[in-house]
Amino acid sequence: MLFKKVALATAIGLVASNAMAECEIGARVSIVGNEFPAIQAVGSAAAECSGSEVKSNLTADHQKINVAGMSGNPAEYTSAIIANSSIVALMNEDVIRPLDDLVAKHGADLKKNQLITIDGKIMAVAFMANAQHLVYRKDVLEEIGVEPPTTYEEMLAAAEMIREKGIMDNPLGGAYAAGWNLAQEFNNMYIGMGGDFFKAGTAEVSINNEAGIAALEMMKSLSEYMNPDFLTHDSNATSAEWKAGNVAIMNMWGSRVGPLRETEGSSQEVVDNTMIAGPMTVGGGETPATTLWWDGWTVAKNISDEEAEATFIALNHAIRPDMLNEETSPMAVWLIDGYEPTPAATGVFDAANRGSVPYPMLPFQGLLHTSLGEELSDFMQGKEDAATALADVEAAYTAKAKEKGFL
């Protein structure tokens, strides 16, 4: 009995001292970020640090709270985990601090391409890459006898064959929920068509052109092969449709592929036949119709130096090379030193190798994204034509950009 107690106490002591030896912080750490497996892994790894409290608030609504939570002095959140789109809002409001001094002191393990450098100052540390790419059902494509599509035109043709053969009624999937998701699908398609969002060097929008109309027409054609409720389907709902075996081909986030390969809420048949490939092109273009993303962390400006240092140490600990193991490696395409690409990463790697464009980090891109999300659903429902929808987007964007002082 006594022996057992001693053994237990020693074991607990060892574990505790181990964690302490690895990461010791001297001030509070409070993290806000998005909610998907890879970020949850980073959040819980940061919580291993001892010496002070580590709180994390990981939610899909992080963008609605991070600026407000970092604007106060002292800021509620000492760090926000963000992506290349959302860091812009934090920089526009000037709530994050340059990390050069902390990188010099504690960041010896970080690789150069992890450091997001803007105008010579390190503003964020990236830990994973992401992109939307093709996900397909091997068995269904074999049944109709076609290769995995490399263009959206081939995707349409395959969808028609699947429907004709009566295998599935609505064989295509996609996160087309009105709002952010629908706008992002337009961004992909517009980039694939070779369009530019703004007149060079200005904040003046120019999407009402041939590329814009072609992008919208392609989205409309695709939606005819989707579940009729597609305007309410975000990435979660689309993944659920996939797992239920209702969808055969879709364009989906690399970070969401891991859960698609789990049998929970799905069947062995779907799991075994879920395959991925690089992003598709559209309209004969060379650039894949997708965008490249990184996810990384920042440190708030309005906090004490001790808190900033503690935050840096905790998050640096969370993305140290030996956090990678069998469980965490397939969760994302990690930018961390020593990461060996898993089969789940091939789609994102292919996207990067084929010259996909990173999501633009422009101060006014977010306003255009919101305007697209508001105004495109009328077109998708067939209430107006493509040119009118794009004119509406431009007008909505212009009103917002004038208000925010960009025009």
120 is an interface residue for other proteins by CB under 8 A: yes
Q: Which of 101, 153, 374, 385 binds other proteins (CB under 8 A)?
A: 374
DSSP line for 248-312:
SEEEEEGGGHHHHTS-TTS-HHHHHHEEEEPPPB-TT-SS-SSEEEEEEE--BSSS-HHHHHHHH
369 is an interface residue for other proteins by CB under 8 A: yes
DSSP line for 335-370:
-STTPPPPGGGHHHHHHHHTTPEEPP--TTHHHHHH
Q: Which of 32, 54, 70, 129 binds other proteins (CB under 8 A)?
A: 129
224 is an interface residue for other proteins by CB under 8 A: no
Which secondary-structure segment (H or E) carries 401? helix 386-403
Q: Which residues ranging from 245 to 284 are in contact with other proteins (CB under 8 A)? A: none
- Give 229 or 305: the residue with its C-beta nearer to other proteins: 229
Residues binding other proteins: number (CB under 8 A): 68
Q: Which of 12, 13, 17, 64 binds other proteins (CB under 8 A)?
A: 64
Distance CA 320, CA 311 (A): 14
Q: Which of 58, 146, 271, 352 binds other proteins (CB under 8 A)?
A: 352
- Give 272 or 337: the residue with its C-beta nearer to other proteins: 337
Q: How far apart are the first and last CA of the chain?
A: 76
Question: What is the SS3 string spanning 181-199?
Answer: HHHHHHHHHHHHCCCCCEC
Distance CA 120, CA 299 (A): 17
Q: Residue with structure tokens 């994973």? A: 128
Q: Which of 1, 201, 264, 325 binds other proteins (CB under 8 A)?
A: 201
316 is an interface residue for other proteins by CB under 8 A: no
Task: Name the residue type at position 139.
Answer: D
- Give 313 or 396: the residue with its C-beta nearer to other proteins: 396
387 is an interface residue for other proteins by CB under 8 A: no
301 close to 98: Cβ distance less than 8 angstroms: no
Residues near other proteins, by CB under 8 A: 61, 63-64, 67, 84-86, 88-89, 91-92, 94, 113-120, 126, 129, 177-179, 201, 203, 227-232, 234, 244, 292, 294, 335, 352, 358, 360-367, 369-370, 374, 377-378, 380-381, 384, 388, 392, 395-396, 398-400, 402-406
